[in-house]
Structure 1
Amino acid sequence: MRANPQQLKAIEALDGPLLIIAGPGAGKTFTLVERTINLLSTRDVDPSRILVSTFTEKAARELLTRISNRLLERGMSVNPADMAIGTLHSIFLKLLEEFRPFTRIRRNYTVLDQFDQQYFFYQNSPEFRSIEGLENLLHPGQQVSAWWFAECLMVRLNKLSEEGIDGEALIASAVPEFQILGAAYKKYQELLEANNALDFSTIQVEALKLFAHEKVRDELQNRFDYLMVDEYQDTNTIQERIVLKLGSGTKNVCVCGDDDQSLYRFRGASIRNILEFSDRFSEGTCQTVYLTDNYRSHPAIVDFYNEWMQLTDWGSTPGLDGAAPKSYRFQKTIKSVSHDNDDRPAVFKVSGTDGQADWATQVAAFLRTRRNDGIIKDWNQVALLFRSVTNEKVIEFSRSLEREGIPIYAPRSNMFFERQEIRSMVGALLFMFPQYGSIRQVREGQQLGVWEYYDSCLKEFIAHIKSGTDAQIGPWLVSMAKTHLGLSENTNYAFSGLFYQLLQFPTFSKFLGEDVAHSGVRDSRPARNLSKFSRLLNKYEYLYRVIVFQPERLEKDLLVFFNTFLRFLLDGGIGEYEDESEYAPSGCVSLMTFHQSKGLEFPIVLVGSLDASPRKQHNDLDVLLQQTFEDREPFEPWERTKTFDFWRLFYTAFSRAQNMLVLTAQENTPKGKGQRNVPSAYFRPVYQLLKPWTDLVFDPVKIALAEVKDVNLKHAYSFTSDVLVFEGCAQQYRFFKDLEFAPVRTNAILFGTLVHQTIEDIHKTVLRGEEARVTPEQISSWFRVNYNNISQQERTYLAEPVLRIAEQHVQRYAVRERSNWHRLKEAEIELSLLKPDYILQGTVDLVQDDDGSYEIVDFKSEKKPDLFDDKDKIDRYRRQLQIYAHLLEEKRQITVRHMTLYYTGEESGNPRITFDRSMSDVKGTIAVVDKVIKKIVAKDYGLYDRPEKLCKNCDFRPYCDMNFCRGEA
């Protein structure tokens, strides 16, 4: 693809601030990729001095893939993995890790996702509810559940963080409401600090605080020569502050986005960031480039959404003070340059007849007809877009389509707990605890709904056992139920242990066969859902510190699990697995939200939710907060924001369509009080002009739908956690890496991490020139601090004798190596190797001087293995070091002479196994790695010989014992 004049202007504008306004389908990603290539090829800039950010991790990986492919095409030896590419959250988090001593977080901190964060508020709700006036501030005149209270408080405090409002400033205010909020914010931050945790909003708060430290500020403001931030219309106030501070040195800040596709005000996004970007720099210094040529959509589709944006007023009238009117949109008109420009039906309606209930029938008829006449070649060429996919009408609509033979893929429709594999798992867990009857009676009156769900799962599962289709599972479950009913001593398992035992039986093992690895997203859904259930069990046991079942607290654990943890998940809804490289699986019509569809494109798009109207998304407190704490003049009038957001939302939906845009609804007329016209008045000006599909002629000869593009993502693999794991056991790799089952936590991992981190403390202290501080007492202090942080994060603990052994590893290392401190050069160096099909990543533990050249060292917290019996294992480690040496030489322009494995568990003998660095081995080693990764990519998980050492402690051992025979795949 050649750059058009608009794109070329953006690609070549490298100096100073640049604003790129990119309409839908205008080649925005192409432009950012080519601009990056231009930087790397013409400015001789170090990749580490370039920051490129976009909105999602998937988009960041796609950007990295395309940049690396272009570099390979041009034969450039630059490694794009050295650039700071990611979401703003991920980039800020790396900065926090680097400058952790200047933050409140400690090593082994936890990042809370949305559910974790709400649950954190719920678990600590008594402390928040003790703040006088807080409940009434959030829910005036209402009494709400602790869970709903937690959600509302979470939303409110996140918004404070995103808008950069300081908690202390709230407390110091004379406004009582602010003082209450400030007290809640302060309490929350104290709890986060006590638990060594961050949430996504607080990541930004802590990143901004780094600039308060002069030394850190100077380093950060000189860290990047060039910054590019995509989707800038969806950044929030605090993100803007950080980006501008990072770019304050060179002013080479390029932001890209489309104000018309700003969708995330409810998450704190501020449209003024992009509309006023030019004002953040000296007058006349910021260039603005408009990308308005649309390569995606048929001209009629582009005309339609251009017209849609003209239906509302985007300006303001002059104020009483004589202020000039503002425009809250960049005035632009998108022009189609798509090759699909024939005079044919491109925008029309497929709706249910006025006053009848035939919506799904009409849509199914349209889709089947287009499939039968060959226009639709794969169902994935069709997408159904709605404001919400958990709305009852939408769910029933999608079910009706499935009954009509239209397969639907809707991973966010909250159907997780209705899938048969999950209902069976819930039923099996209930069956194993006869105490279920008593705990059900405790809460039946309050939470009948969830107990009805449990009752139905249990009833179905009992019927399944009686059917005899799985003769093995029934007797085992009866035995377990008897054990639990008369439990008199601690078990050696909790829910997750039972989960892995259940997977051995055909009821569940049928979902986990090798064929699943080669199935599409929809066919592998049961296995993926079971995997997600394993992670939920893992999360429950982590949150409540449940390691084993104990007789005295068994009933309490059951009540908390079923009536609190699982109930909240049921109420909140759980999304199913989505493959980021296959957003539109073959064989299915995609059902998704407008927000979910952003950045995607489909040949045929049916847009629903035409009964919608603009909704107010603010209250008086929001207005008061902005008036008090906004450090600039108010921007969009509050009363207009609901209209602006409504128009932007549907504009985004309409512009996803490539070849056909279809508006769809169940039309009706008012038949009584409370009934609305559908479509609502907001759509009528454009909807009424559309012809119904039955009045149009669809000529298969003239209509060639685009194919859904493959998402080309270059995956990153680690030698340790990918290559070595796969070589050790392909089945373990399949279950734990590909399907992402959560292993039951083991202390072996904790032991190694603890030893490694404390040795890292020693290295960093020596490298700072403070080797005198490395005393037995200081090592012991570091060791205990690390242990406290890791055990708090993992909720896993080591017995005191084991702790003493782990500390002995570290103390012994310090004694042995003290005379070699002068040899230390670097520690914990991240490396990567760019290949045509993947990126190989790794970390070198230590680099030492080796008489003018260098030695790399990798630490193993175990006894030195037998050089003969463990030859294969040692050889795998040697290959790992060989690649690391090669990458380090390229990165640092040095020579590595030796490579060493250092075994901290070796008590009396030589703890080292050292290999000479041989240049001739590199190509052969990389060839072996290539072969392994090709097997991983091809999902070649054949197991011909059970690795007994690995099997011993593997969670899937019961499954493999039942489903694999020795010597057979």
Structure 2
Amino acid sequence: MDLNEFMEIIHPMLPSGGLDENQMNVVIHGQGPLWVIAGPGSGKTETLVIRTLKLIFVDNVNPKSIVITTFTEKAAKNIKDRISNYAYLIYQKYPELQRNLDVNDIYIGTLHSLCNQIMLEYRYPGYENYRLMDDIEQYLFVHEHSDAVKHHHKYQDMWNHFKYLENKWNRSFNSRWGRTQVATTLFNRIVEYLIDIEELKQSDEKWAVQLADAYENYVQLLEIHHRCDFSHLQKKFLEFLNTKLGELFIKGDGSLRHPGISHVLVDEYQDTNPIQEAIYFKMAENTHNLCVVGDDDQALYRFRGGTVECMVNFGNACHREWGITLERVNTVFLNNNYRSHREIVNYCNKFITSFPVMQKIGARVKDKPELNPKSDISGNYPAVAYITGRTIEETANNFANFVRYLLDEGVVSKPSDCALLMKSVRENRNWAEPFKKALNKVGIEVYNPRSRKFLEQEEVMAALGAFITIIDPKQNALRKVCNENIQRLVNRWVDTYRNVASESPELRKYVDCSIKSIAKRNLGERLNINISEILYRILAHPPFSDWLDDPERSYRLGKLTQLFEKYSSIPYDTPGSTRGLLKMSSKNNGEISFRWRQNFYNSFIGLLSTEGLNDPEDEEIICPPDRLPIMTIHQAKGLEFPFVFVYGLRLKGDKPNESAIIEEDLYKYRKIKYSINFTPLERTQQDLIRLYYVAYSRAKYALIHLVPRNHMGSKGFGFIGNNFSLFSAIVKKI
């Protein structure tokens, strides 16, 4: 079919008004690199989807030769669903196309998921029989095995160099968990930044030489135990792409099974890191059909290794990798905002350009135009405003009363039409707690799954308390644990279990019988039961079996079982061993191995107590409709709400953050270097400005700042121009 027929068939599902000129330019782009700078609310995902469909149904591109990556599994599912819905319209008219052009054959997912999928599909020997560890498993693995963590005195120059991270992360290097967090971060950055290990080893800086040694030890341990973390998954995939199997994947062999890769499309490119950039360019080397979509003003993930420089310098990368000049890179700006009230769009334009540090060359994509307000939302009301009060508590009360008014007057139909965004959602008096209390006082429940309150939920505490009562009934191993926080947590969990068990005779009977059964076992005997099985049997009894009918409690208990399985998977020093199987003490009758129990407390419970955990989130639900979401700004990325409230505008950015300093420390050891024109402090400030820009651009009808009076006299990057006086002259007070 031709382009006109294609557009006519999918027209019923297109946004009202169809596609604008710039969106169509993306859709009809032919061959070569395509650089799409897409502002908030510009319809970038829809445009990416329609371009993909055009490639398949108009250009007859084999769906299996298309790769689409995005930042989260949720976003990937959204793209898959949209493609399927549009394709359904086409298949209805031309059912025979479904046999030859099946959109389910497209490679769609996060880059991590696709790396895993493709290497398994091609049976890459360098990835056979590896266990892929998530962040928690990696953390536990580093804690248990890394030489730099266990024998830190051998790496004193390295730890002294990174001493600045102690205060930043509130982690003492005297703590094994403090060393674990830093070591894990550094190991990941070495991979993500494409650090040249040989240069690191030959450095005249002792800390760098020791870091190279610590990293090589970690890599060796990964190979010994056949483990792979997310960063090394990408490293292995890049190695795969440079093999004969990788060549087959990229170039194909002319068969339908191996058509080669003709198009690579990357969403959220502003949060790409150097190794991901290398992967994308390698996958597209045969055709140069690399389409990147993103917004440098919405780059948020430097703390995970993302470098906005990949987005800002895409044209330079095309020249470096392929010899393609900037003039031959098709650059398209999607700057029509279809989301927000005109006042909000204009405010976002003023905000992002009001800081001198954002006006410097290289801070933003060159010649970037302002957003154009194109939403149907209108009305002569203060769409950008602020609420205040003498204190945080009074500001929170005024905010809650305003939301109550919006609901009572029918301005919004449900609490989830409003969202409260802030940098941290921990429920303490400086962040979410006053707002939660104020909302509850006026009858509005909140949804705050990232408050790190997972371990304080009754069902989680009771389950952990029951398990610990079985494996350490006298708590003699707990008393030998030096960490008082662990002792307090465990005692609280055991008390919660006892309270629950007092009204649950079946549960108490199971726990008591388990204790007696263990007491009868022989010295040194291996028990033929995994710790996960014990937890499952605990959860099979009331009240847990009843709580499983409650979605929230069920999600939490499901997450707890996953945590047990992750801990069970961490090997001992011997390859193939597992921590999940229990063994009796070789010295004390009737007790689980003292060493195992101590390791469980220090390692597993130590992780839980040190890091805290968020509640599990249902990816299908942004927020239950009868609750008001309190979200981090990172959580809100990609979302939109009728009313957005933002708290915490006075973040000063007067000291460089740890991510920018680590980036600076490792920069000269990179294999590929961009000319970074900014100091760590300037990058920190730019990241803060982008953070607030993302928050402000989520709003559809109204953007309302929450500013206690004692925040007004100070500067903060949440205020336009870092100046409250300028802010108050532009923004109306409610």
Measured after TM superposition, the shift of residue 263 of structure 1 is: 0.8
* Cα deviations by residue, 1:655-695 (Å, 9 ceiling, x for unpaired): 11111111113331699xxx9999878251325543332xx
Out of 627-636 and 589-598, give the one that drifted further.
Answer: 627-636
Task: Please tell me whether the aligned partners of residues 308 and 686 of structure 1 are also in contact (alpha carbons under 8 angstroms).
Answer: no
Task: Please tell me whether the aligned partners of residues 603 and 659 of structure 1 are also in contact (alpha carbons under 8 angstroms).
Answer: yes
Aligned to 1:170: 200
Alpha-carbon distance in structure 1 between the residues aligned to 2:501 and 2:225 = 44
**Amino acid corresponding to residue 463 of structure 1 in structure 2:** N
**Amino acid corresponding to residue 138 of structure 1 in structure 2:** F
Q: Is 2:417 the partner of 1:417? A: no
Measured after TM superposition, the shift of residue 627 of structure 1 is: 3.2
Aligned to 1:264: 301
**Amino acid corresponding to residue 105 of structure 2 in structure 1:** D
* Cα deviations by residue, 1:753-804 (Å, 9 ceiling, x for unpaired): xxxxxxxxxxxxxxxxxxxxxxxxxxxxxxxxxxxxxxxxxxxxxxxxxxxx
Task: Please tell me whether the aligned partners of residues 17 and 253 of structure 1 are also in contact (alpha carbons under 8 angstroms).
Answer: yes
Alpha-carbon distance in structure 1 between the residues aligned to 2:310 and 2:287 = 20
Measured after TM superposition, the shift of residue 316 of structure 1 is: 7.0
- Aligned to 1:653, the other structure's residue is in SS state helix
Task: Please tell me whether the aligned partners of residues 667 and 677 of structure 1 are also in contact (alpha carbons under 8 angstroms).
Answer: no
Q: Is 2:705 the partner of 1:682? A: no
* Cα deviations by residue, 1:710-736 (Å, 9 ceiling, x for unpaired): xxxxxxxxxxxxxxxxxxxxxxxxxxx
- Listed as ranges, the matches of 1:483-502 within 5 Å are 483-485=517-519, 487-488=521-522, 491-502=527-538
Aligned to 1:114: 135
Measured after TM superposition, the shift of residue 347 of structure 1 is: 1.5
Alpha-carbon distance in structure 2 between the residues aligned to 1:327 and 1:423 = 47
Alpha-carbon distance in structure 2 between the residues aligned to 1:372 and 1:244 = 54
Alpha-carbon distance in structure 2 between the residues aligned to 1:108 and 1:667 = 59
Q: Is 2:192 the partner of 1:192? A: no
TM-aligned CA distance change 1:631 to 1:528, over 3 Å: closer
* Cα deviations by residue, 1:75-110 (Å, 9 ceiling, x for unpaired): 24221121111112222223333455453x3x2211
Q: Is 2:493 the partner of 1:451? A: no
Percent identity, aligned pairs only?
28
- Aligned to 2:475, the other structure's residue is in SS state helix
- Listed as ranges, the matches of 1:340-355 within 5 Å are 340-351=377-388, 353-355=389-391
Query: Which residue, 470, 479, 500 being the options, matches 1:432?
Result: 470
* Cα deviations by residue, 1:316-370 (Å, 9 ceiling, x for unpaired): 77xxxxxxx555344221111111111123211123x235731321121111111
Task: Please tell me whether the aligned partners of residues 125 and 146 of structure 1 are also in contact (alpha carbons under 8 angstroms).
Answer: no
Measured after TM superposition, the shift of residue 620 of structure 1 is: 6.2
Q: Is 2:606 the partner of 1:576? A: no
Measured after TM superposition, the shift of residue 209 of structure 1 is: 2.1
- Listed as ranges, the matches of 1:504-515 within 5 Å are 504-513=540-549
Aligned to 2:664: 623
Measured after TM superposition, the shift of residue 219 of structure 1 is: 5.0
TM-aligned CA distance change 1:691 to 1:624, over 3 Å: closer
Alpha-carbon distance in structure 1 between the residues aligned to 2:489 and 2:347 = 45
**Which ranges of structure 1 fall in alignment gaps of 5 or more residues?**
318-324, 517-523, 694-969
Q: Is 2:678 the partner of 1:637? A: yes
Alpha-carbon distance in structure 2 between the residues aligned to 1:389 and 1:194 = 40
Alignment root-mean-square deviation, CA: 2.7
* Cα deviations by residue, 1:208-233 (Å, 9 ceiling, x for unpaired): 22344367447525621111111111
Aligned to 2:496: 460
Q: Is 2:70 the partner of 1:31? A: no
Aligned to 1:586: 625
Aligned to 2:11: none
Alpha-carbon distance in structure 1 between the residues aligned to 2:298 and 2:414 = 28
- Listed as ranges, the matches of 1:802-841 within 5 Å are none
Aligned to 1:96: 119
TM-aligned CA distance change 1:46 to 1:676, over 3 Å: closer
- Listed as ranges, the matches of 1:71-82 within 5 Å are 71-75=87-91, 76-77=97-98, 78-82=101-105
Aligned to 1:712: none
Measured after TM superposition, the shift of residue 408 of structure 1 is: 1.1
**Amino acid corresponding to residue 234 of structure 1 in structure 2:** D
Alpha-carbon distance in structure 2 between the residues aligned to 1:292 and 1:677 = 27
Task: Please tell me whether the aligned partners of residues 70 and 111 of structure 2 are also in contact (alpha carbons under 8 angstroms).
Answer: yes
Aligned to 2:158: 134
TM-aligned CA distance change 1:286 to 1:454, over 3 Å: same
- Aligned to 2:529, the other structure's residue is in SS state coil
Task: Please tell me whether the aligned partners of residues 489 and 609 of structure 2 are also in contact (alpha carbons under 8 angstroms).
Answer: no
**Amino acid corresponding to residue 64 of structure 2 in structure 1:** S
Query: Which residue, 207, 210, 235 being the options, matches 2:272?
Result: 235
- Listed as ranges, the matches of 1:172-321 within 5 Å are 172-213=202-243, 216-217=246-247, 219-221=249-251, 223-279=260-316, 280-281=318-319, 282-283=324-325, 284-314=327-357
- Aligned to 1:74, the other structure's residue is in SS state helix
**Amino acid corresponding to residue 685 of structure 2 in structure 1:** T
**Amino acid corresponding to residue 53 of structure 1 in structure 2:** T
Task: Please tell me whether the aligned partners of residues 473 and 515 of structure 2 are also in contact (alpha carbons under 8 angstroms).
Answer: no
- Aligned to 2:703, the other structure's residue is in SS state strand
Measured after TM superposition, the shift of residue 371 of structure 1 is: 1.1
- Aligned to 1:582, the other structure's residue is in SS state coil
Query: Which residue, 552, 562, 568 being the options, matches 1:525?
Result: 552
Bigger relative contact order, structure 1 or 2 (CA pairs below 8 A, ≥6 apart) = 2
Measured after TM superposition, the shift of residue 509 of structure 1 is: 1.6
Alpha-carbon distance in structure 2 between the residues aligned to 1:559 and 1:52 = 46
Query: Which residue, 690, 699, 702 being the options, matches 1:648?
Result: 690
Measured after TM superposition, the shift of residue 184 of structure 1 is: 1.6
Out of 26-35 and 584-593, give the one that drifted further.
Answer: 584-593
Q: Is 2:508 the partner of 1:474? A: yes
Alpha-carbon distance in structure 2 between the residues aligned to 1:10 and 1:364 = 43
Aligned to 2:12: none
Task: Please tell me whether the aligned partners of residues 487 and 551 of structure 1 are also in contact (alpha carbons under 8 angstroms).
Answer: no
Task: Please tell me whether the aligned partners of residues 191 and 235 of structure 2 are also in contact (alpha carbons under 8 angstroms).
Answer: yes
- Listed as ranges, the matches of 1:731-746 within 5 Å are none
Measured after TM superposition, the shift of residue 492 of structure 1 is: 4.0
TM-aligned CA distance change 1:585 to 1:369, over 3 Å: same
Measured after TM superposition, the shift of residue 400 of structure 1 is: 1.1
- Aligned to 1:289, the other structure's residue is in SS state strand
Measured after TM superposition, the shift of residue 22 of structure 1 is: 0.7
- Aligned to 2:221, the other structure's residue is in SS state helix
TM-aligned CA distance change 1:241 to 1:495, over 3 Å: closer
Measured after TM superposition, the shift of residue 123 of structure 1 is: 0.5
Larger Rg: 1
Q: How many residue pairs get matched?
A: 667
Aligned to 1:657: 699
**Which ranges of structure 2 fall in alignment gaps of 5 or more residues?**
1-14, 92-96, 167-171, 253-259, 571-577, 587-591
Alpha-carbon distance in structure 1 between the residues aligned to 2:355 and 2:36 = 24
TM-score for the superposition, normalised by structure 2: 0.85
**Amino acid corresponding to residue 292 of structure 2 in structure 1:** V
**Amino acid corresponding to residue 162 of structure 1 in structure 2:** E
- Aligned to 2:610, the other structure's residue is in SS state helix
**Amino acid corresponding to residue 32 of structure 1 in structure 2:** L
* Cα deviations by residue, 1:582-639 (Å, 9 ceiling, x for unpaired): 1122111111111111111111111112231225125766435323535445223124
